[in-house]
């Protein structure tokens, strides 16, 4: 018989208040309490906590406190990662983030969901589907990414968006629900630098 954790990780309905899962969330909360309450100058200590908490960290990563997640062991971040204040990851399923990812303030990645029918929801069933974010992705502030979403490479998600469907590579997408606005090309390079020469 599968454990509740095994069900959770395989995308099946599970009960999150099973003892093992409660203990694992509590362990993550303890580490996050230390992380979020260190002095700003304690950079090495903060980096060490994140490295211990997450499944994988790349080179040159920075997570701005406060940061929240459920377990940590389901989160992988690539090289040159940055997340701003109040990054929330409900990592009941794997969350994989590529290289050169910029995460704006108040961004939430939700792998977790609940049944829409009250009877199952009241029995405390949950489910979780993975989130995958590609390389060179910038997610603007106050964005919500829902369970099971894949965001391609070289994508910009506009602030305040709610991502309910997969987003292909090389686009700017925004809105609620989030939709592709335009394809990104080399013509976009000078967009913010029209008054300057960038060599």
Give Cβ neighbours of residue 156 (< 8 Å, ≥ 6 apart). Answer: 137, 138, 140, 171, 172, 173, 184
Q: Quick check: helix, strand or coil at residue 68? A: strand
Residue 133 resides in a domain = yes
Residue 193 resides in a domain = no
| Residues counted in the chain | 199
Residue 112 resides in a domain = yes
**Is 114 one of the annotated active-site residues of the chain?**
yes
Domain with residue 58: its CATH number is 2.160.10.10
Of 60, 80, 100, 114, which residue is the catalytic one?
114
Whole-number pLDDT of residue 38? 97
| β 171-174/162-163 pair status | unpaired
Domain coverage including residue 27 = 4-183
Say whether the peptide bond before residue 66 is cis (omega within 30 degrees of 0): yes
CB atoms within 10 A of CB 133: 25
Structural contact between residues 82 and 60, judged by C-beta atoms closer than 8 angstroms? no
Q: What is the pLDDT along the chain (199 residues), one digit of tens a residue?
A: 799 999 999 999 999 999 999 999 999 999 999 999 999 999 999 999 999 999 999 999 999 999 999 999 999 999 999 999 999 999 999 999 999 999 999 999 999 999 999 999 999 999 999 999 999 999 999 999 999 999 999 999 999 999 999 999 999 999 999 999 999 998 887 766 655 554 5
Whole-number pLDDT of residue 189? 77
Give Cβ neighbours of residue 185 (< 8 Å, ≥ 6 apart). Answer: 170
Residue 99 resides in a domain = yes
Residue 190 resides in a domain = no
Residue 196 resides in a domain = no
Residue 188 resides in a domain = no
| Spatial separation of the C-alpha atoms in residues 150 and 134, rounded to whole Å | 8
How many folded domains does the chain comprise? Answer: 1
Whole-number pLDDT of residue 197? 53
Give Cβ neighbours of residue 131 (< 8 Å, ≥ 6 apart). Answer: 93, 94, 95, 96, 109, 110, 111, 145, 147, 148, 149, 150
| Spatial separation of the C-alpha atoms in residues 71 and 55, rounded to whole Å | 10
Whole-number pLDDT of residue 191? 66
| Spatial separation of the C-alpha atoms in residues 104 and 137, rounded to whole Å | 11
Residue 194 resides in a domain = no
């Amino acid at each position: 018989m599968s454990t509740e954790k095994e069900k959770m990780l395989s995308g099946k309905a599970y009960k999150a208040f099973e003892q093992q899962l409660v203990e694992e969330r509590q362990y993550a909360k303890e580490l996050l309490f230390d992380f979020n309450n260190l002095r700003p100058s304690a950079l090495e200590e903060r980096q060490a906590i994140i490295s211990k908490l997450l499944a994988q960290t790349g080179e040159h990563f920075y997570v701005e406190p406060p940061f929240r997640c459920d377990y940590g062991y389901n989160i992988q971040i690539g090289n040159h990662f940055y997340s701003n204040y109040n990054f929330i990851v409900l990592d009941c399923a794997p969350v994989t983030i590529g290289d050169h990812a910029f995460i704006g303030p108040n961004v939430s990645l939700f792998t977790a969901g609940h049944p829409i029918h009250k009877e199952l929801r009241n029995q405390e069933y949950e489910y979780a589907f993975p989130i995958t974010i590609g390389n060179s992705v910038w997610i603007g502030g106050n964005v919500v990414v829902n369970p099971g979403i894949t965001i391609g490479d070289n994508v910009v998600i506009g602030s305040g968006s709610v991502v309910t469907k997969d987003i292909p590579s090389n686009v700017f997408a925004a809105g609620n629900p989030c939709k592709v606005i335009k394809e990104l090309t080399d013509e976009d390079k000078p967009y913010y630098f029209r008054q300057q020469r960038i060599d």
